[in-house]
Structures are given as C-alpha cells and as structure tokens.
Amino acid sequence: MQARALSLMAVLAVTALPLPLGAQRPTPTRTGQWLGFGIGTGFGRVSCAICRSNRHASISGFVRGGGTLNRHTLLGVEGNGWMRRDDNVDEFLVAVSAVFSWYPNPRRRLFYKGGLSVMLYQADDGPNRLTSTAFGPEVGAGYDIPLSPSVSFTPFASWHIASLGGDLKYNGEKFRDDIGLMLIQIGAGITWH
C-alpha cells in the first residue's frame, strides 16, 4: 500500500509541473541524441505450470537513451525496473531492451514503441532465493508534451512479456524451464531531445 501511495505521489508531482498553454507550446525537435527517465506504477507477474504470482502493483521506473534516425524514428536502449516487498520477501523485475520509437506524424507528439527485452526476476526472503531470466517483446506508447524545444513531459505505458529461454532457479539450482515474466508500467517522465 505504501508503494502505491509513493508511486501515485511521484506521478502527481511530475504532472503538476507547469505546462505552457497550447498556443505557447514549442514544437518538439527530434534530432541527434535523446535521453529520458520516468517513474510510475508497475504490475509484475511471474508464472509457470506450478507457480503463479498475481499482478502486484508497486513502484516502477525507466531510464532510456539513444539516437534519432529520422523525423519519424528513434532507436535506443531502455532499462525498466519494478520492485516490491511483501512480508519478508523482496521481489524485483528488471528489463533491458533494444527499442525503437515511431512517431506516425512527426508534427504530432504521440509515439509507439517496440523492442526486444531480456528480463530478470528475483524473489529473496533471506535464506532462499528464486531467480529467472527470459527473453521477449516490449510494446508501448507515449505522448511528448513539449516544455521547451528540447525538453518534453512524457506520459507513457509499456508492456514487457518474456518467456523465451525462461528458467526458474531455486538457490542457484534450475528446477523449472517453463517460466513466464510480465511487467506492465504506467507513469510519466521527462525526455531530452
């Protein structure tokens, strides 16, 4: 519950930034390198034939950066994370992705993104540890609201799902090979173009 409140406060704080009026909003420039980071709520899930963890909400965030191919397309690398503590168990999911962002209309601010991720999961209660690694796709969307010609406020949503090559290890010993990992994120961030 505390993580949900923290996530909500972070999103509200970022959304409370003063934004220029519609007529004053600068046109975003998408050239050269770009960098972004954000925070929000994430929903993590782990599943296999004998295990299932429901979609638990907790704090989540991302860091991304890359270069501009053209007015429509950005390429880059993204790191996403989710963590939660339940009773005495610490859980986290991390996804590292190669991503592209596509702006259907370069004068508009809406973009779609896709990519390929490797996801890592860990649950640790002190004496015992579950770990997993799997590969899969990432999809998402966002909207750049320009604060200046080179800085945008960016609400986003993304979905990572990984099951290729997934295995589950208990204290380092592999015991399942049918694992599925999922991370859904909703939040807001800042992007420098």
Average pLDDT over residues 50-62: 78
Give the pLDDT of residue 120: 92
Give the pLDDT of residue 108: 80
Q: Where are the domains of the chain?
A: 2-10+28-192
The DSSP result for 81-131, as a single string, is EEEEEETTEEEEEEEEEEEEEE-SSTTS-EEEEEEEEEEEEEEE-SS-EEE
Percent of the chain whose predicted confidence (pLDDT) is above 90: 48
Does the domain spanning 2-10+28-192 belong to CATH 1.25.40.80? no
Per-residue pLDDT tens for 9-28?
444 444 444 444 444 555 55
79-83, 124-128, 135-139, 182-186, range with the lowest pLDDT? 124-128
- Provide CB contacts within 8 A for 13, sequence distance 6+: none
Per-residue pLDDT tens for 66-117?
999 998 999 999 999 999 888 788 888 999 999 999 999 877 889 999 999 9
Q: Which amino acid, 25?
A: R
The pTM of the full predicted model, rounded to 2 decimals, is 0.78
